[in-house]
Amino acid sequence: MASPWAGELELEFAKRNQQTVLTRNYTVAPWKIQRSLYPEGEEVCHCILLHTAGGLVGGDRLSAKIHLQPQTQALITTAAASKIYRSTGAESLQNLHIRIDEGANLEWFPQETIVFTEAQYRQQTRIELAPTATLTMWEIIRFGRTARGEKFLDGNWRSHTEVWRDQSPLWIDRQYLNGNSEMLGSPNGLNNYAITANFIFVGAIVEPELITRIRSTWEQGNYQGMSGVTRSLSGLVCRYCGDSSSDARKWFQQIWHLLRVSYRDRAICVPRVW
């Protein structure tokens, strides 16, 4: 039996003249970061994260630390969908710690995560924001390999995300799904859908007019499923529940564009790996 992975990732971004530069790139397999890309100019550094093992099995432990120095802008995505494989009992764990300094902005957009039935998984994310830093992130989770008719009828999914500023919480979100037919069908569970997705923007006040525009993108997009848009004290949270990861991503990209234009005066630049 193969030994579980204990992967590590440490990334640090710094400002050099007008360019955001990846100054620290430390990885332990299965993590790997591809070279920095600048498809929208030197101010925003795009990085593509690769998981060389293709997914997590029971017992795997992955940790990542990401630090954005003042005034930097970075977009991080993944090269492909992530997979959480079935486990015979051992839990796989991912820990993510992000620090975003004054005036910096991180866009954290991993591709879809597919959770196999009988998977045992827990993820913990902590983000620390400086006073004028902002974070935009999303997560798209498919429960079960639906293309082959699989449902998430056994297993566990746990997620705990915290965003802090000046030792005060800005946003805390805990999710726990225990795979069974009652959870799949319940309105308080997946409501017979296969995908849940979250879009979070935190670090700045979102005006009600922008919230209205964001809600209208769902109404005008003819998307299938359910959605919600909530304004918080320091940002917003958008949630999707449905059967189409492409719908979730398309809607999230519309939200991302509206926020980017409003807060960065810059149109979105979709990574080529998508």
Q: So what's the pLDDT on residue 150?
A: 94
**Percentage of the residues of the chain whose pLDDT score is greater than 90:** 91
Domain ranges for the chain: 6-194
Lowest mean pLDDT among 5-9, 247-251, 256-260: 5-9
Q: Which of 95, 190, 120 is nearest to 151 (CA)?
A: 190
Assigned token pair, 57: 């099995």
Q: So what's the pLDDT on residue 54?
A: 82
Chain segment 98-128, per-residue pLDDT in tens:
999 999 999 999 999 999 999 999 999 999 9
- State mean pLDDT over 166-172: 93
Q: What residues pair up with 235 in beta bridges, in sequence order?
A: 202, 232
Q: So what's the pLDDT on residue 39?
A: 97
* Cα distance between residue 194 and residue 184, in whole Å: 8
Q: So what's the pLDDT on residue 249?
A: 97
Contact 152, 178 (CB under 8 A): no
Q: So what's the pLDDT on residue 165?
A: 96
DSSP the chain: -PPPPEEEEEEEEEEETTEEEEEEEEEETTEEEPPPB-BTBTTEEEEEEEETTSSB-TT-EEEEEEEE-TT-EEEEEESS-EEE---SSPPEEEEEEEEE-TT-EEEEE---EEE-TTEEEEEEEEEEE-TT-EEEEEEEEEES-GGGT----SEEEEEEEEEEETTEEEEEEEEEEE-SHHHHH-TTTTTT-SEEEEEEEESSPPPHHHHHHHHHHHHHHT--SEEEEEEETTEEEEEEEES-HHHHHHHHHHHHHHHHHHHHS------TT-
**Percentage of the residues of the chain whose pLDDT score is greater than 70:** 99
Torsion sign across C-alpha atoms 194, 258, 271, 63:
negative
* Cα distance between residue 186 and residue 180, in whole Å: 10
* Cα distance between residue 182 and residue 186, in whole Å: 6
Is-above-0.85 flag for pTM? yes
- State mean pLDDT over 49-68: 93
The residue type at 114: I
Q: So what's the pLDDT on residue 233?
A: 86
Q: So what's the pLDDT on residue 2?
A: 62
Chain segment 63-88, per-residue pLDDT in tens:
999 999 999 999 999 999 999 999 98
- State mean pLDDT over 5-34: 94
Q: So what's the pLDDT on residue 264?
A: 93
